[in-house]
Amino acid sequence: MPHDHAHTVLPSDPALRVKALETLLVEKGLVDPAAVQEIIETYEHRVGPQNGAKLVARIWSDPEFKKAILAEPMPILQELGYYGRQGEHMVLVENTPTLHNMVVCTLCSCYPWPLLGIPPGWYKSDAYRARAVREPRKVLAEFGLNLPDEKNIRVWDSTAEIRYLVIPERPKGTEGWSEDQLVPLVTRDSMIGTGLAQAPTQ
């Protein structure tokens, strides 16, 4: 029999399998569809790099806050509501004029969900995971980030236990800016360490 029916009108195989699983679980009373919707809502709209950006802007603006959160982040993150799955044990690492921090998960894709949302595709790729450790300077250059030779690079390997957030350097020319003005300069990649915070003119 010729195989000429249109497979392309169907959703992708993984999407179909997910839908089939969800339908079965709901029918058997094992999951509540409202709970599933709530999880989707959370990661689509409420959790994402805007949380990390607000945190970084506050760290740039408030020296007392910075000192406290670098020393012991978890109580403060819990109070601010930046807490939950995949963010139970955060470590904040600060970039300085002599040190650039960069985060990878060499084993899989561990990432600070409450502060950055769901990881970008490249973060999960074999190439990034293997090369970030072996040749970080080269990987950063491929992201368009050419660091001077005298700047040290420290690579942090995330685990199921500990997740890292990079505090990028505050861009020059932002003296006197409010937190709200600073937030849009803090890109997702600057908090993973594969980019810098945007300059005010960009």
Positions marked catalytic? 105, 108-110
- Binding-site member from 10, 108, 130, 141 for Fe ion (CB under 5 A): 108
Shortest CB 111 distance to Fe ion, Å? 7
CA distance 38 to 1: 45
The residue among 25 and 162 lying less far from Fe ion, judged by its C-beta, is 162
Shortest CB 106 distance to Fe ion, Å? 8
The residue among 108 and 127 lying less far from Fe ion, judged by its C-beta, is 108
Q: Is 104 in the site for Fe ion (CB under 5 A)?
A: no
Nearest Cα neighbor of 192 from 141, 146, 156, 144 is: 156
Q: Kindly indicate which of the ranges 63-71, 91-99, 106-114, 173-181 contains the residues binding Fe ion, using the contact rule CB under 5 A.
A: 106-114
Estimate to the nearest angstrom the gap between the alpha carbon of 100 and the chain centroid.
17
CA distance 74 to 56: 15
Shortest CB 86 distance to Fe ion, Å? 9
The residue among 19 and 89 lying less far from Fe ion, judged by its C-beta, is 89
Q: Is 116 in the site for Fe ion (CB under 5 A)?
A: no
115 close to 87: Cβ distance less than 8 angstroms: yes
Q: Kindly indicate which of the ranges 33-41, 71-79, 100-108, 118-126 contains the residues binding Fe ion, using the contact rule CB under 5 A.
A: 100-108
147 close to 102: Cβ distance less than 8 angstroms: no
Count the residues of the shown chain that bind Fe ion, applying the rule CB under 5 A.
4
Q: Is 105 in the site for Fe ion (CB under 5 A)?
A: yes
Phi, psi values for residue 72, rounded to 5°:
-150, 90
- Binding-site member from 47, 76, 104, 110 for Fe ion (CB under 5 A): 110
Q: What share of the chain is helix, strand, coil (3-state, %, to 5)?
A: 50, 10, 40
Q: Kindly indicate which of the ranges 9-17, 79-87, 98-106, 116-124 contains the residues binding Fe ion, using the contact rule CB under 5 A.
A: 98-106
CA distance 24 to 180: 46
Question: What are the Cα distances from residue 4, in Å, to 26, 125, 139, 173, 186?
Answer: 34, 35, 45, 62, 51
Shortest CB 54 distance to Fe ion, Å? 25
Question: Residue numbers of the site for Fe ion (CB under 5 A)?
Answer: 105, 108-110
